[in-house]
Amino acid sequence: MTTTLKLNSLNFAFGQQSVLNNISLSVKTGQIGCLLGPSGCGKSTLLRLIAGFEQPQSGEIHIVNQMVAGTNLTIPPQNREVGMLFQDLALFPHLTVSQNIAFGLHQLNKTEQKHRVNELLSLCRLEGFQARYPHQLSGGQSQRVALARAMAPKPKLILLDEPFSSVETGLQNDLVHEVKSMLQADQSTALWVTHSLEEAFGIADQMGVMLDGKLLQWSLPNELYDKPAHPDVIHFLKNANLVSGTINSLGEIETHLGNFKLNNDANFKVNEQAQVGLNKRIFHISKNKKPNASVTKVVYQGGQYILSLKLFEGDIIECYVPNSIHIGSNVCVDVDEVTELTGFPIS
């Protein structure tokens, strides 16, 4: 599989304020990469660098084997063949759906333009809407037209900046899947940024978590979830508990919940303190074994409960369980055997 987008150690600052710190990632051709991060972490700035509206202070951007930004080199935005879709999509109000989609197709002759517009009307399931104006469309329909307009000239790469943040919540889920299938059907390559976990896990082939201008991990979605490479990924995904312990001579971390083999034990010394993320789904609660924790909170969450437990030994953990348990009960909590855990230094 070829690579469409490659970022090498990008750094960017607005004046003295560092905004992007050593960002490297790549997106394979035909795939959707997704960057997940809270407001202000630098997502839009990164997309502006890729599109060519800002220049990195150092590092390189490659789009399909061409360096478009690097030391002493800048290819202007109009020559990068990048399409963009922003939050405020701004369709041209005085142009019809067809004319909006055809906007970037001036290099094609009339017959080719018509063919490409029809192809996109079918992709965004808006056949029959070609003569409508933007004010005659719903929010979701407008969004699909805006994406069709960005995709029309077959850019090498499409950048999507939180494209659904202005769409009502109920619609977002359907739209995410529609947009994903439009991109896939046209074999587009995209980099999508969002602060929404559901959106990111719903669309990404590759994904990463960004905090304070740093990309903490870039991997397959299931790896990000099951093998977080940084404690802040766990804090952001809220899918695991950070549990502390001591490294033993077998390269395990000894915790109050058991001993776990680490896949990076070479990074630690024997007797060093460290921590690991234990997924909230791997815990079992029994009431008829010797208790080691008390229940401090129970929250019902559609079909399951999230229990907060205070271990008698100190740590507070959360876990998913099928049935509710009284607050204040003493229980025994234990953990499935897990492998491939990454240990983190205690900061």
| Binding footprint of ligand ADP on the chain (CB under 6 A) | 14, 19, 37, 39-45
- Give strand pairing partners of 33: 191, 206
Q: Give the span between the Cα atoms of 19 and 40, in whole angstroms.
A: 9
Residue 44 makes CB contacts below 8 A (sequence gap 6+) with: 161, 193
| Binding of residue 165 to Mg ion (CB under 5 A) | no
Among residues 23 and 91, whose Cβ is nearest to ligand ADP?
A: 23
Residue whose Cβ sits closest to Mg ion: 44
> For residues 34 and 192, is the Cβ–Cβ distance under 8 A?
yes
71 binds, among Mg ion, ligand ADP, none (CB under 5 to 8 A by kind): none
C-beta separation of 156 from 4 below 8 A: yes
Q: How far is the CB of 148 from ligand ADP (least distance, A)?
A: 24
Q: Report what 80 binds from ligand ADP, Mg ion, none; CB cut-off 5-8 Å by kind.
A: none
Q: How far is the CB of 237 from ligand ADP (least distance, A)?
A: 17
Phi then psi dihedrals of residue 240, to 5 deg: -145, 165
Distance CA 197, CA 89 (A): 22
No. of helices (H) and no. of strands (E), the chain: 8, 21
Nearer to ligand ADP, 52 or 343 (CB): 52
Residue 300 interacts with, from ligand ADP, Mg ion, none (CB under 5-8 Å by kind) = none
Contact criterion met (CB below 8 Å) for 143 and 137:
no
Shortest spacing between CB 113 and ligand ADP, in angstroms:
34
Question: Residue 183 binds what, of ligand ADP, Mg ion, none (CB under 5 to 8 Å, by partner type)?
Answer: none
Which of ligand ADP, Mg ion, none sits in contact with 14, Cβ below 5 to 8 A by type?
Answer: ligand ADP
User: Which is closer to Mg ion, CB of 43 or CB of 149?
Assistant: 43
Q: State the CB neighbour count (10 A cutoff) for residue 118.
A: 14
The residue whose two tokens read 């876990």 is 319
Q: Which does 45 bind (CB under 5 to 8 A by kind): Mg ion, ligand ADP, none?
A: ligand ADP
Shortest separation between residue 125's beta carbon and ligand ADP, angstroms:
30
Nearer to Mg ion, 44 or 294 (CB): 44
Nearer to Mg ion, 46 or 333 (CB): 46
Shortest Å distance, C-beta 41 to ligand ADP: 4
Asked if residues 295 and 309 have their Cβ atoms less than 8 Å apart, the reply is yes
CA distance 237 to 14: 29
Q: Which does 345 bind (CB under 5 to 8 A by kind): Mg ion, ligand ADP, none?
A: none
Residue 44 contacts Mg ion per CB under 5 A:
yes
Least distance between Mg ion and beta carbon 47 (Å): 8
CB of 221 to Mg ion, least distance (A): 21
Q: How far apart are CA 336 and CA 260, in angstroms?
A: 10
Residue with tokens 């789904």, as numbered in its chain: 281
Q: Which stretches does DSSP call E strand in 120-220?
A: 157-161, 190-194, 206-211, 214-219
Distance from C-alpha of 149 to C-alpha of 101, rounded to nearest angstrom: 4
Binding flags for Mg ion, 24-43, as an x/- string (CB under 5 A): -------------------x
Q: Which is nearer to Mg ion, 21 or 44 (CB)?
A: 44
Is residue 32 within 8 Å of residue 180, measured between CB atoms? yes
Q: What is the contact surface with Mg ion in residues (CB under 5 A)?
A: 43-44
